[in-house]
Amino acid sequence: MTEGTSGCGFDRIGIVGVGLMGGSMARGLRALNAPPHVVGFSLDPADGRLALECGAIDELATDSAEAARGRDLVVYATPLGVTLDFLGQHSAVWGEAAITDVASLKAPVMDRVKELSEASRYVGSHPMTGGEGSGFAASSDGLFRDARVWLVRGEGATRAAGGVERLWRALGATPLWTDALEHDQRMTWVSQLPQLVANGLAATLAEAGYTPADLGPGGKDMTRLAASSPEMWRDVLETSAPRLAGALEAAGVELARMAAALEAGDLAAITELMARTKEWKG
Amino acid sequence: MTEGTSGCGFDRIGIVGVGLMGGSMARGLRALNAPPHVVGFSLDPADGRLALECGAIDELATDSAEAARGRDLVVYATPLGVTLDFLGQHSAVWGEAAITDVASLKAPVMDRVKELSEASRYVGSHPMTGGEGSGFAASSDGLFRDARVWLVRGEGATRAAGGVERLWRALGATPLWTDALEHDQRMTWVSQLPQLVANGLAATLAEAGYTPADLGPGGKDMTRLAASSPEMWRDVLETSAPRLAGALEAAGVELARMAAALEAGDLAAITELMARTKEWKG
């Protein structure tokens, strides 16, 4: 890794996966003064071509290792399981590059780079942005602006840490350092649980015979995430399964408790709960 | 009720309650060519003064009956229980006026106007818009633009029906006729259930020690409604309690089923559910 002269600190960047996250990073980098040279790769050929045609990347790699070879920074923006596979496949071609990823869990990636003895070049990223869209078509150059990005640092990755933090700041994000396990525990509750509650609510409404057109703005808010890509979530949900089961169970118990209060005509219990959550929202 | 010359078909309108809904109606009417003369009333004196100072209403009534006397149309935009009370208190001063309301349940209001033998001037409205805000400060002149408004017609209310439908069209809304009981059944699922699921999820997150600042955009979507006003919801929830208990229970069972699948490592069940709800969202 050499100190670059581009607006983000890295001159040559490889982005493996140019969907919502990787595509938005490519577009955000392109919008900088002195943009770096970006080589992209996509498992979805249509997404890769689109990123190239839109001018978001300088070159489209024909295989994933090509995007990872000869760079100052390689960014993995693929589903978690694919990222874990690519790390093992690519480590031989990384040269001096710093490595980051955008997976929404950090401990499994940290474990993998440790196994590969590559922790000293690894800084994991988790941008708290996105939504229900997926693919390059859903990307935008402002996706990371004002977003929190959780960062975790591999042991000894001092230089990479400075570089990756600078990259996110250049994209308008707010980087915050954390610990991989603590991060993943938090995400079970604040990210995966809301996602599955949206799916559960949508399934309940579908089963009762209602359609999205029947919903008002509140119901639309509450089912927006039900359109999220199952492919993007599968690995994350699998990794978190036991912890996430506990969180879902807690939410289910809360709903059952509210149902029982309504059944018993205990409206005060419901309005007290509403007042409490209104205060929590602040 | 006389055929008016204003842009909405009614020349003299009384709006009882100038909060989010009533305030938005007043502002929307004010923005029309040839706006009607609008007298407002608010149980919250600060809201009433604000509506007058902002020019949303022509006059602020000092008591609710004053807003209901000598009008072509009286609009009740107060919580459901207050509306039911006002209908009984005001019916003697309505003269020739048509009557509507914006409560999110229609059968209780329809029952009340029947008891009062005033069904032939009553058309109930339920605009499918709003959100977690409340009070005049949350109102806007475009709140009803492109929103569905469910309408129910009192027996014999032919003239009022044409007038109220025309009013909503003037505000940019899409009026749709329905039956009061069918409407209320639908709202249990598409409006009240999402509201309480948001409260339940927020309560679960609060109990686990997380704050709104910990949430990404998905979690923010899923807890936005947790800031809704308990006062505005109380009467609605009470009226729907038994039916709503069943809907909440169904959602709780769905979450418990998902928790069990995760516990058993049955990821296929989860991704199939996600694929189904993604398709439902369309």
Q: Which residues of B touch A281 (CB under 8 A)?
A: 202, 212, 223, 226-227
Interface test with chain B among A21, A185, A195, A204, by most B beta carbons within 10 Å:
A204
Q: What is the pTM of this model?
A: 0.84
ipTM of the complex in this document: 0.84
Q: What is the reported pLDDT for A2?
A: 52
Question: Which of B191, B258, B265 is closest, CB to CB, to A219?
Answer: B191
- CA distance, residue A252 to nearest chain B CA (Å): 4
| Chain A interface test: which of B222, B239, B266 (most A C-beta within 10 Å) | B222
What are the pLDDT tens digits along chain B (282 aa)?
Answer: 556 778 788 999 999 999 999 999 999 999 999 999 999 999 999 999 999 999 999 999 999 999 999 999 999 999 999 999 999 999 999 999 999 999 999 999 999 999 999 999 999 999 999 877 889 999 999 999 999 999 999 999 999 999 999 999 999 999 999 999 999 999 999 999 999 999 999 999 999 999 999 998 899 999 999 999 898 899 899 999 999 999 999 999 999 999 999 999 999 999 999 999 999 999
Residue in chain A lying closest to B215 (CA): A190
CA–CA gap between residue A122 and residue A155 (Å, rounded): 8
Among A222, A223, A259, select the one facing B252 at the smallest CB separation.
A259
- Are A254 and B204 a contacting pair at CB < 8 A? yes
Strands (E), B174-231: 174-177
Distance, in angstroms, between B176 CA and closest chain A CA? 12
Asked if A130 and B233 come within 8 Å (Cβ–Cβ), the reply is no
Tell me the C-alpha to C-alpha distance, in Å, between residue B132 and each of A215, A278, B106, B214. 15, 10, 21, 20
**pLDDT on residue B65:** 97
- Cβ contacts of B189 on chain A, cutoff 8 Å: 205, 208, 210, 214
**Model pLDDT, residue A127:** 96
Q: How would CATH label the architecture of B12-178? A: 3-Layer(aba) Sandwich (3.40)
- Kind of pairing between the strands at B123-127 and A37-41: unpaired
Architecture of the domain spanning B183-281: Orthogonal Bundle (1.10)
Per-residue pLDDT for chain A (282 aa), expressed as one digit of tens each? 556 778 788 999 999 999 999 999 999 999 999 999 999 999 999 999 999 999 999 999 999 999 999 999 999 999 999 999 999 999 999 999 999 999 999 999 999 999 999 999 999 999 999 877 889 999 999 999 999 999 999 999 999 999 999 999 999 999 999 999 999 999 999 999 999 999 999 999 999 999 999 998 899 999 999 999 898 899 899 999 999 999 999 999 999 999 999 999 999 999 999 999 999 998
Write down the pLDDT at residue A3: 60
Question: What residue spans in chain A does CATH classification 1.10.3660.10 cover?
Answer: 183-281
